[in-house]
Amino acid sequence: MSISQTIADFVTLAIQAGGWMEMDRLYLQNRVVGMIGENSLEEVVSSREVKSSLALLDELVQQAINNKVIPDISSEKEQFEAQLMDLLTPPPSVVNALFAEHYANKPEEATEYFYQLSKNNDYIKTRAIAQNIVFPVATEYGQLEITINLSKPEKNPKEIAAERKAIQTNYPKCQLCMENEGYKGRSNYPARTNHRIIRMNLDGESWGFQFSPYAYYNEHSIILSEEHRPMVISEMTFRRLLKITEILPHYFVGSNADLPIVGGSILAHDHYQSGRHVFPMEVAEIESYFELEDFPLLNVGIVKWPMSVIRLQSPNSEDLVQAAAEILKKWQCYSDEAVSIKAYSEDGTPHHTITPIARRKGPLFELDLVLRDNNVSKEHPDGIFHPHKDVQHIKQENIGLIEVMGLAVLPPRLADELVQVKRYILEQENTLANYHKEWADKMKVTYKFNETNAMEIIHQEVGKIFARVLADAGVYKRDEEGQQAFRRFIKTL
């Protein structure tokens, strides 16, 4: 296919996206011609089946490389791709107007429109995400979800060198700030020319709704404060989360904790994560109910889960807000050193917070409160309630919101390392990492392996380790001592 045909088809998709009209065709074609370094455009036939936007994008980028407009370096290509895809993306005002138009029909229709737009314009990196290794694992807590994250490409030496020479700037302040919308990017910062944010009003405050470029689950989205301010878990957090479930009743929404070790990767910008996905923790049952004296009409109970979860249910969202605020207040100053739970250091540093998750269940609002503690000790310098040393060969990073709910996001190194574990177990030539050897030897004596079943068994064992990781992060263990200690805290409520 000629490059002229590619340009014409790309422009057809740009017009169909809603930001342009047929009158703009010649203008758009000339924009693309100039961008990719061509000198002219041949006459083409328009009545044909158009390729996908990503396939056309690849052809345009390759032509730009051939024409020496851009070098064949991923950061340069990413910026150029985003600039091209910006033509397939209506301006922010138009995207917001179309979102509102769809929302007037049905909230699901609005998010579906925005989701498809974000995939079609390559803001959501669907091809990169497809590289992730994903598998379920059955455990005593139900089916956990495992993802080995391969979606973010590794940098080559040229790119690393370019990053060292990159201009240092504090604009945008972080990757969640509103100023990212339309930002060109640079060698050490992602391109955001094709990025769009839906504006939201949460009780008088300006917030934004966007999708995650590297999604881990269906419609993985981020709701962010317009103001660049640190994350804080407070009564307002619970109120905002429940308000979001009114605005987007088909979505869950949750917040990472606001302390190091137990928090997420970005604590400097107040934000939540949401989406259209049923996580394993959501389907876990309440195993014991209790009453809150000040809120007799609430359903309240402890969830059967390796972490320590209190679930609240009510048709009245304000009751949930007040009850959750009271639980947070009690937890922030509660200590039980018999089970290594300590609210403050001697210098007054706080160690207790909550990871909250909100969702709708028909007429009910539901709020899960996961108790978190970020204390360290000589035995556990990385965190008492953090993956312990014997499981860090699989997962050593923070246990954030997504993992808390039962979806493991494991490091890319495991893609090859698990293959080497398999080869070691089958006594084939291998480069087994030493930190996997004890685990691999234990599996060798536990199972009968062959070429057909080896990787499936290894995956199941990875899932069991993830369940252990969650148990390590749980402040009240699942044994009798831990559950008695949990009940002691419950009595303070």
Q: How far apart are CA 415 and CA 293, in angstroms?
A: 50
Q: Where are the domains of the chain?
A: 3-69
Model pLDDT for residues 315-339, shown as the tens digit of each residue: 999 999 999 999 999 999 999 999 9
Q: What is the pLDDT of residue 264?
A: 75
Asked if the peptide bond before residue 172 counts as cis, ω within 30 degrees of 0, the response is yes
Neighbours of 49 (CB within 10 A): 5
Task: Give the largest CA-CA distance in the chain.
Answer: 80
Antiparallel, parallel or unpaired: β 407-410 and 142-148? parallel
DSSP 62: H
Q: How confident is the model at residue 31 (pLDDT cuts 50, 70, 90)?
A: very high
Q: Does residue 309 surpass a pLDDT of 50?
A: yes
CA angle 354, 355, 359 (to 5 degrees): 125
CA-CA distances (angstroms) from residue 381 to 133, 342, 385, 386, 387?
Answer: 31, 15, 10, 10, 11
Distance CA 319, CA 294 (A): 10
User: Any residues with CB less than 8 A from the CB of 55 and at least 6 apart, and which?
Assistant: none
394 in Cβ contact with 410 (< 8 Å): yes
**Mean pLDDT, range 19-39, rounded to an integer:** 96
352-371 pLDDT tens trace: 999 999 999 999 999 999 99
Transcribe 311-334 into DSSP letters.
EEEES-HHHHHHHHHHHHHHHHT-
Q: Which residue has the higher pLDDT, 213 or 159?
A: 213
Q: What's the gap between Cα 493 and its chain centre?
A: 32
Q: Give me the amino acid identity at 164.
A: R
pTM as predicted? 0.93
pLDDT digits (tens, 9 = 90+) for 384-436: 999 999 999 999 999 999 999 999 999 999 999 999 999 999 999 999 999 99
CB neighbour list of residue 405: distance below 8 Å, 6 or more residues apart: 254, 279, 280, 281, 282, 357
Q: H/E element holding 395?
A: none
∠ CA 406-407-411 to the nearest 5 degrees? 135
* DSSP conformational letter for 248: S
Mean pLDDT of all residues in 436-440? 98
- For residue 303, the cross-strand partners are 286
- The fraction of the chain above a pLDDT of 70, given in percent, is 96
Nearest one of 39, 37, 47, 41 to 7, comparing CA atoms: 41
Taking the C-alpha atoms of residue 314 and residue 299, their distance in angstroms, rounded to an integer, is 7
Q: What whole-number distance in Å separates Cα of residue 34 and Cα of residue 40?
A: 9
Question: Chain-wide mean pLDDT for the chain?
Answer: 94
For 347, phi and psi rounded to 5 degrees?
-90, 5
Tokens of 7: 């340009």
> Assign residue 397 a region: left if phi > 0, alpha if psi is -120 to 50, beta otherwise?
beta
- Specify the pLDDT at position 165: 59
CA angle 339, 395, 433 (to 5 degrees): 125
Residue 61 has pLDDT above 60, yes or no: yes
Q: Residue 77 class from Cβ within 10 Å (0-12 exposed, 13-18 middle, 19+ buried)?
A: middle
Beta bridge partners of 38: none
Q: Which of the 8 DSSP states describes residue 86?
A: H
3-class SS of residue 224: strand
Q: Do residues 296 and 319 lie in contact, with contact meaning Cβ atoms separated by under 8 Å?
A: no
Closest by CA position to 243, among listed 265, 216, 223: 223
Which helix (H) or strand (E) element contains residue 259? Answer: none
User: Could you give the angle at which helices 454-473 and 437-446 cross, rounded to 10 degrees?
Assistant: 120
Phi and psi at 479, nearest 5°, equal: -85, 175
Q: How far apart are CA 413 and CA 394, in angstroms?
A: 9
Report in angstroms the alpha-carbon separations of 146 from 149, 269, 443: 9, 27, 19
Q: Quick one: pLDDT at residue 45? A: 73
The tens digit of pLDDT for each residue in 81-124 reads: 999 999 999 999 999 999 999 999 999 999 999 999 999 999 99
pLDDT category of residue 160 using cuts at 50, 70 and 90: very low
Cβ contacts of residue 213 below 8 Å, gap of 6+?
Answer: 123, 124, 125, 190
* CB under 8 A, 24+ apart: contacts of 422-430: 422/454, 422/455, 422/458, 425/449, 425/454, 425/458, 426/450, 426/451, 426/454
Q: Which residues contact 64 (CB under 8 A, 6 or more apart)?
A: 35, 36, 37, 70, 80
